[in-house]
Amino acid sequence: MSIGRIAGIALAGVALLGAQAALPPSTAAAAVTQSEVAAPAASLESGRYVGAQTITFTADPGAEIRYTLDGTHPTRQSPLATGPITVERTANVTAVAFTDRSESLPTIRGILVKTAEEPLSQFAVMSDIHLSTGAGPAWDKWTGYFDTLKRIMPNPDAIISNGDQINDNNFNTASDHQYPRTMLEQNLARTGMGDTKVMMSFGNHDDRVYRMAEQYPDAWFPGDTGYYETEISGFPAFVVNTEAWNSTQASWLYGRLEALSKDPATQGQPIFVFGHRPIPATVWDGAQSSNSGLKQNLSAFPQVVYFSGHSHLNITDERSIHQQDFTSVNEGSMSYGENDGKFQVFGPGLARDATIPTAQSVVVDVYADRIEIDRINYAADPGRTYTDDGVWSFQEKPPFNSSGSLAGPTWTVARGATPAETKAKFTYTQANRNAVAPAWGEAQPTVRQTESGPVLRLPQAGDDQFTSEYTLVVKDAQTGATTTLVPANGRIYSDYVVAPKPAVLDIPLAVRAGDRVGQPIDRTLESGRSYEATLTAYDSYGNASAPRSFTFTAGEIDRSGIEAAAATATPVLERVERVIGAHTPAEDADFGFVVADVPAAKLAAAELRSQLDAAPATQDVADATAWAITDAADALAAYLAPVDRDGLATAIAEARSALDTADTARTRAAASGDETERALRAELAAAEELQETLNVAQNALDAAAEELTQAVTAWKASTEPGTDPGTGPGTDPGTGATPGTGASNGQGAGEKPGSTAGGNSLANTGSAVLAGVGALAVVALAAGGALLAARRIRQS
């Protein structure tokens, strides 16, 4: 081995280990396992705060935290949380902890940033409690719901439960009203809201109105007609009975509103009206609405703010507020939410369903110049209202991670000094509806093979509000025929109501029979066949993105992660096998390493080879295999320890130089007759053989270098002027050569000094355990005992 070659070994070793430690980007993004790392801890809870706030997230050691302020799920490209995060305006702050191959569940905090201005009135409006039992999750969840409300509005002036207090309409279950009454009484007392005013309206699930009235205090639900007038902190308030609209009620309501509008003391005040059902052509076009006569009554009074429930349509959708002649607000549902009927994911297949797992309501702050309406999530965790088998399962495990998050930005309704001035300030009008279409990002959709079939992994399109849904057209690439996978009018739900909104959707490319939950899958794609998919994204107003098309083969496995991991792991495997002699020929840099535990290294190498030879059947397994290859390579690399052969190389060079100098300074016969020279040449031969031997421990290399240096020193001392070189026992005085060697330097004829016959193509492999001073002594004894003789000379 040349000295120059030896000098590069250590650097080559460092480069190899550095490459092994760095994971290829494609592999790093291949697999994401959620919850292997703990969700970040937050310094603030969801709630109401005055002025800008700072929030700090902390995570497990070794994890980094990424965050968003727009309610979306953080990704690895989201901003890095390296310290306190400033929240200047109302927002959902979401954080996720990432390691190299996993991510935590999200931590989400709804931070309502308010000014120091004290509101003139505060109240909460909720709807569709649907409580008809006194035990179990349906009851238990309300503890968490009221804890959330307490953090947001600690002392509301009123709580309005806007219809459907119970869960049936058989007109014989009025006694079930004991459950919502008891629940409200207990939680109001527990949270210190015992003095809060309670207002109730009558809904279609509440038996008959007079029977409902018998179940509650008169202050909560006065009379037996279902409609009544009251006030909230001095502001006029009306509850109407949308289940039994009649001329008597209409005349009463219109007369009172007209009187308030003409009275100088009240004409500039907002008037709050609460009714269970929405009004036609208002919020979400008045879905499931009734009572067009109520709309006529209210149209003359722009200062009216009408709150409704019933539809269960979620309040994340911006269509939940509407202004034309008055303001209409959908306050959502506290039992479960709905969208307007989309395909959703139910296990390995899609089905069309409107229900979604949310519990939402609004809270209202009234100021001198405005009304602020905030949308609150009490439950908006990922999931479905039905199991894959079609069994109702929503809200069974409170508390919910999303409790207290915000379903959207604050709605602000401006106040005017007169009804006409109020109307002039309307902003949530049809003319102002959002016209910005969703746009695709750089991340591309892919199709992943799972145990149940192909799944579309879709990075969500971006929007100034949110992307609501997608259309998906899948064509056979061979025939051009459109598949029947998803109907042309079918929309795939984007999970926009989930808190946080997911950054990526996994959509099974299979549909259940009849598009119904709980039915078997009857439409899917043929494995091994190529398809072209075209996606279009829509917001809730129907604004459409540009189409995005791509081709894929059903059942195909993306092995890029495995290939990237293998490209880094294979050099490690081959180096270990060369160092321990299991693979030839050796490379120069191999001499810079040692494997101490050869049997264990062989087992680790076999494990890595098994991972490299794996043939995963699903994409998840392929991604896991990429990481398994990286882990196995890391484990194998741990058996490689660097060694430094420079010291031995230097000693060899010095010995060769000394002998070459001696050969030119005096006759070879005189020099080689010295016993110390024979010892030096034996030490040099042993050192050269060791330098050409793979897998030698550092202590053996250092000992050899030391022995050779001492031999050089001893020989130089014996050749100083005035020293008789002698002949020594067993030497030929005429030649100085050991009898029977046939050479003056212990080498074969024609070999270069210091070389090993045959080079290193079949390099010797030493033992890290046996290689040491003892091994060198054996080599020296084989050369004629010169090593021990030299030691005796040095010790004399």
Of 422-436, 531-545, 647-661, 715-729, which gets the smallest average pLDDT? 715-729
Domain boundary among 502, 528, 553: 553
d(CA 215, CA 202): 12
Judged against a pLDDT cut of 50, whether residue 779 lies above it is answered with no
Phi, psi at 92, each rounded to 5°? -90, 125
Name which of 314, 530, 519, 534 is nearest 445 in CA terms.
534
CA–CA distances in Å: residue 284 to residues 279, 322, 471: 10, 8, 21
d(CA 52, CA 89): 7
Query: Does 438 reside within a domain?
Result: no
Report the b/e string of 590-610 with b at 16+ CB within 10 A: bbbbbbeebeebbebbebbbe
Answer whether 133's CB lies under 8 Å from 166's CB. no
Which pairing describes strands 548-553 and 530-538: parallel, antiparallel, or unpaired? Answer: antiparallel
The end-to-end CA distance of the chain, in Å, is 35
Query: Does 328 reside within a domain?
Result: yes
Say if residue 546 is in the same domain as residue 571.
no
Phi, psi at 595, each rounded to 5°? -115, 110
Say if residue 83 is in the same domain as residue 168.
no
Answer whether 210's CB lies under 8 Å from 170's CB. no
d(CA 605, CA 584): 15
667 versus 473: which is more confidently predicted? 473
Say if residue 165 is in the same domain as residue 290.
yes
The secondary structure of 482-501 as a DSSP string is BPSSS-TT--EE--TTSSSB
CB atoms within 10 A of CB 346: 22
> What pLDDT score was predicted for residue 601?
97
Judged against a pLDDT cut of 90, whether residue 272 lies above it is answered with yes
Say if residue 286 is in the same domain as residue 299.
yes
> What pLDDT score was predicted for residue 665?
65
3-class state of residue 232 by DSSP = strand
CATH assignment at residue 72? 2.60.40.10
> What pLDDT score was predicted for residue 549?
98
Mean pLDDT on 585-605: 97
Query: What is the three-state SS of 104-122?
Result: CCCEEEEEEEECCCCCCEE
Q: C-alpha dihedral over 239, 245, 248, 249, to 10 degrees?
A: 10
Q: Is the peptide bond before 302 cis (omega within 30 degrees of 0)?
A: no
The secondary structure of 689-718 as a DSSP string is HHHTEES--HHHHHHHHHHHHHHHHHHHHH
Judged against a pLDDT cut of 90, whether residue 29 lies above it is answered with no
CATH assignment at residue 387? 3.60.21.10
Judged against a pLDDT cut of 50, whether residue 266 lies above it is answered with yes
Say if residue 329 is in the same domain as residue 396.
yes
Answer whether 374's CB lies under 8 Å from 361's CB. no
> What pLDDT score was predicted for residue 33?
56
Query: Does 437 reside within a domain?
Result: no
d(CA 105, CA 97): 8
Query: Does 197 reside within a domain?
Result: yes
Say if residue 464 is in the same domain as residue 606.
no
CB atoms within 10 A of CB 501: 21
Query: Does 440 reside within a domain?
Result: no
Phi, psi at 296, each rounded to 5°? -65, -40
Say if residue 370 is in the same domain as residue 236.
yes
Whole-structure pTM over 0.85, yes or no? no
Say if residue 203 is in the same domain as residue 328.
yes
Query: Does 354 reside within a domain?
Result: yes
Looking at residue 761, the DSSP 8-state letter turns out to be T
3-class state of residue 132 by DSSP = coil
Name which of 420, 428, 421 is nearest 373 in CA terms.
428
Say if residue 132 is in the same domain as residue 281.
yes
Judged against a pLDDT cut of 60, whether residue 328 lies above it is answered with yes
Domain boundary among 519, 553, 587: 553
Mean pLDDT on 122-141: 91
d(CA 2, CA 653): 10
* Tally of residues, the chain: 796
> What pLDDT score was predicted for residue 289?
78
Q: Could you report the per-residue pLDDT of 450-491, keeping only the tens digit for each?
A: 999 999 999 999 999 999 999 999 999 999 999 999 998 899
Domain boundary among 431, 462, 481: 431
Of 51-65, 165-179, 204-218, 720-734, which gets the smallest average pLDDT? 720-734
3-class state of residue 236 by DSSP = strand
With a CB cutoff of 8 Å and minimum separation 6, the contacts of 94 are: 67, 68, 71, 72, 73, 74, 106, 107, 108, 109, 500
Say if residue 173 is in the same domain as residue 254.
yes
Residue type, 770: L
d(CA 328, CA 648): 89
Number of domain units in the chain: 5
Say if residue 518 is in the same domain as residue 398.
no
Looking at residue 752, the DSSP 8-state letter turns out to be P
Judged against a pLDDT cut of 80, whether residue 713 lies above it is answered with yes
If residue 552 lies in a helix (H) or strand (E), which one and from where to where? strand 548-553
Q: Tokens for 212, please give them.
A: 């409902």
Looking at residue 657, the DSSP 8-state letter turns out to be H
Give the distance, in angstroms, between the CA of residue 22 and the centroid of all CA atoms in the same chain.
20
Domain range for 494 is 446-553
Judged against a pLDDT cut of 80, whether residue 782 lies above it is answered with no
CA dihedral (765, 767, 773, 775) positive or negative: negative
CA–CA distances in Å: residue 221 to residues 134, 332, 361, 745: 21, 21, 20, 116
d(CA 651, CA 776): 15
Q: Is the peptide bond before 500 cis (omega within 30 degrees of 0)?
A: yes
Query: Does 166 reside within a domain?
Result: yes
Query: Does 439 reside within a domain?
Result: no
CATH assignment at residue 453? 2.60.40
> What pLDDT score was predicted for residue 670?
52
d(CA 786, CA 791): 9
Q: Which segments of 277-429 does DSSP mark as H helices, in order?
A: 292-298, 419-424
Where residue 35 falls among pLDDT bands split at 50, 70, 90?
low
3-class state of residue 661 by DSSP = helix
> What pLDDT score was predicted for residue 168?
80
> What pLDDT score was predicted for residue 666?
57
Say if residue 17 is in the same domain as residue 37.
no
CB atoms within 10 A of CB 480: 8
